[in-house]
Amino acid sequence: MKPLELTGFVAILRRWWPTIVVAAAVGGIVAWVVAGSLPPAYESSARLLVGAPSADSDSAKAASQQARTYAEIATTEPLIDAAAESLGLAPDEFDGTVTANANEITRFIGITVRDTDRLVAKDMANAVADLLVVEVEPAGEVLTSAGGVEIREPARLPAEPVEPNVTRIVTLSVIAALILGLGLVLAVEHF
């Protein structure tokens, strides 16, 4: 087994390029068919503000600490189950599909729901946001400077699915097929 020189490599590519191109094309077509058959996943997010918009620095600091706690509350099973039931949906459908994150600098909480139905994703994100407001706001209390929560941006109907990303899947598959095709050609020629 002698080492492959650049001129030998170029000669192999000239001789086998149709095979390598066909391998890449087949890889791309197979990936496109498979990606097209995967169910779409939609995401919708609601944004909530903790504390009054014009809070002083001490209140804003306290609100940013509370935002983390409220984000945790938003993903608890009882709250998610109640939100699902309020929409007439089965609570177990949403295991792991509801996420919440808190931005400690801006005091915003983002509640995101991922589902195969874009309307369900939007409605569930809004239901979780509504229930979070009710959960942390005792009845009849006004938004306080540090601890209140209000919905600043309700979830919207997503226009496009976030998954599957067909372009990325096909591109990576074509690259993998090119590498595999080239590897097979080099193995056939070299051994």
* CATH number of 133's domain: 3.30.70
- The pLDDT of residue 51: 82
Counting the structural domains of the chain, the total is 2
Q: Please state, rounded to an integer, the average pLDDT across all residues of the chain.
A: 88
Whether residues 176 and 96 share a domain: the answer is no
For residue 76, being part of any structural domain is answered with: yes
Has residue 57 been placed in a domain?
A: yes
Same-domain status, 103 and 59? yes
pLDDT level of residue 1 (50, 70, 90 thresholds): low
Angstrom distance (rounded) from CA 117 to CA 29: 27
Same domain, 64 and 113: yes
Same domain, 77 and 138: yes
CB 21 within 8 A of CB 177: no
Whether the pLDDT of residue 127 is over 70: the answer is yes
Overall residue count recorded for the chain in this entry: 191
Domain shared by 127 and 80, yes or no = yes
Look at 146 and 103; give whichever has higher pLDDT: 103
78 and 125 share one domain: yes
Q: Does the residue 103 lie in any domain?
A: yes
pLDDT of the residue at 4: 65
E strands, the chain, in order: 42-50, 98-103, 108-115, 149-153
Predicted confidence band of residue 138 (pLDDT cuts 50, 70, 90): low
Give domain status of residue 1, yes or no. Answer: no
Contact 155, 45 (CB under 8 A): yes
Task: State whether 75 and 97 are in the same domain.
Answer: yes
Residues 61, 92 within the same domain:
yes
Which residues lie below 8 Å from residue 7, measured CB to CB, with a gap of 6+? none
Query: Rounded to the nearest 10 degrees, what angle do helices 118-136 and 57-74 cross at?
Result: 130
The answer to whether residues 32 and 102 belong to one domain is no
| 105, part of any domain | yes
At a CB cut-off of 8 Å and minimum separation 6, what does 184 contact? 23
Strand-strand pairing, 108-115 and 98-103: antiparallel
Report pLDDT for 93: 85
Q: What is the pLDDT of residues 60-98, one digit of tens each?
A: 777 888 889 899 999 999 999 999 999 999 988 887 899
The residue segments making up the domain with residue 65 are 42-153
Residues 58 and 107 in one domain: yes
Judge whether 147 lies within some domain. Answer: yes
User: pLDDT by residue (tens digit) across 6-18?
Assistant: 787 888 888 999 9
Question: Is 108 in the same domain as 180?
Answer: no
My answer on whether 56 and 131 are in the same domain is yes
